[in-house]
């Protein structure tokens, strides 16, 4: 049982599964009752990265989603992606594409090199998923073409949406900081070319909890920062 304010929550086993029964009290009377699937409370094995990370790209990229509030970062609703970033490249007008944006090649991020931010071991690679046309999405495999790197501190660095057939590493490879992983693409549940990057505390995304990500040294809106986690709207580049 969990008690919060005037409500009590009970973990209850029914014939068809385990549910949470939430009861609210109004004086000496039951004010309301809600039954929903039970979800175990999980706590990340680690709260932030201890491995020193460089940005996984060169040049200046804009943080579209990133931060600790739902307004800054819709990923916080997904347990494994709580500290995730989505990044694009923008021009002086704040646009992420040239011409009419109807082709992936119109987008400044498309085809840009994505790099290992530290030494580690490649523990998962997914390739062969075709890039979407801009504005379309593929919900069958949400991350699209993917690379996951395990650090020596058991942090799992998750890269999503690589360009079709551009990944240069394979499962079991040992990679060095700055090594080319592949090219930025628009595969998976992605409406335009961008990099999705996050850290989780386990390899399996369905069981993992997201870890807050700090980069060792970078520029944020042109200002040098150390051990910093960017937020929505900031332009980040290597120091």
Confidence category of residue 1, pLDDT binned at 50, 70, 90 = very low
Instruction: Return the minimum-mean-pLDDT range out of 1-15, 66-80, 135-149, 157-171.
Output: 1-15
Region 184-212: mean pLDDT is 96
Given this model, what pLDDT does residue 35 score? 72
Q: Any idea which residue has 């060169």 for tokens? A: 58
Q: Give the mean pLDDT of the chain.
A: 90
Given this model, what pLDDT does residue 5 score? 45
Instruction: Return the minimum-mean-pLDDT range out of 156-160, 171-175, 202-206.
Output: 202-206
Instruction: Return the minimum-mean-pLDDT range out of 11-25, 83-97, 180-194.
Output: 11-25
Residue 212 pLDDT > 50, yes or no?
A: yes
Of 77 and 86, the structure prediction assigns the larger pLDDT to: 86
Of 108 and 38, the structure prediction assigns the larger pLDDT to: 108
Given this model, what pLDDT does residue 60 score? 98
Region 44-70: mean pLDDT is 95
Of 39 and 15, the structure prediction assigns the larger pLDDT to: 15
Given this model, what pLDDT does residue 14 score? 73
């Amino acid at each position: 049982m969990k008690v919060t304010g005037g409500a009590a929550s009970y973990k209850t086993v029914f014939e068809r599964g385990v549910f949470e029964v939430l009861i609210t009290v109004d004086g000496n009377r039951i004010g309301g009752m809600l039954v929903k699937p039970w979800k175990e409370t999980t706590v990340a094995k680690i709260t932030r990265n201890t491995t020193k990370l460089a940005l996984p790209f060169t040049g200046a990229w804009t943080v579209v989603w990133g931060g600790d509030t739902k307004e800054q970062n819709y990923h916080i609703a997904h347990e494994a992606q709580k500290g995730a970033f989505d990044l694009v490249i923008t021009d002086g007008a704040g646009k992420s594409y040239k011409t009419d944006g109807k082709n992936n090649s119109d987008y400044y991020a498309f085809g840009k090199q994505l790099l290992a931010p530290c030494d580690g071991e490649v523990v998962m690679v997914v390739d062969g998923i075709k890039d979407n046309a801009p504005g379309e999405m593929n919900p069958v495999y949400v991350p699209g073409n993917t690379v996951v790197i395990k650090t020596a501190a058991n942090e799992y660095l998750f890269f999503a949406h690589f360009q079709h057939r551009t990944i240069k590493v394979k499962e079991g490879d040992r990679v060095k900081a700055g090594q080319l992983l592949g090219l930025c693409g628009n595969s998976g549940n992605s409406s335009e070319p961008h990099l999705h990057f996050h850290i989780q505390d386990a390899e399996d995304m369905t069981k993992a909890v997201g870890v807050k990500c700090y980069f060792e040294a970078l520029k944020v809106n042109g200002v040098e920062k150390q051990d910093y986690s960017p937020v929505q709207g900031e332009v980040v580049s290597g120091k």
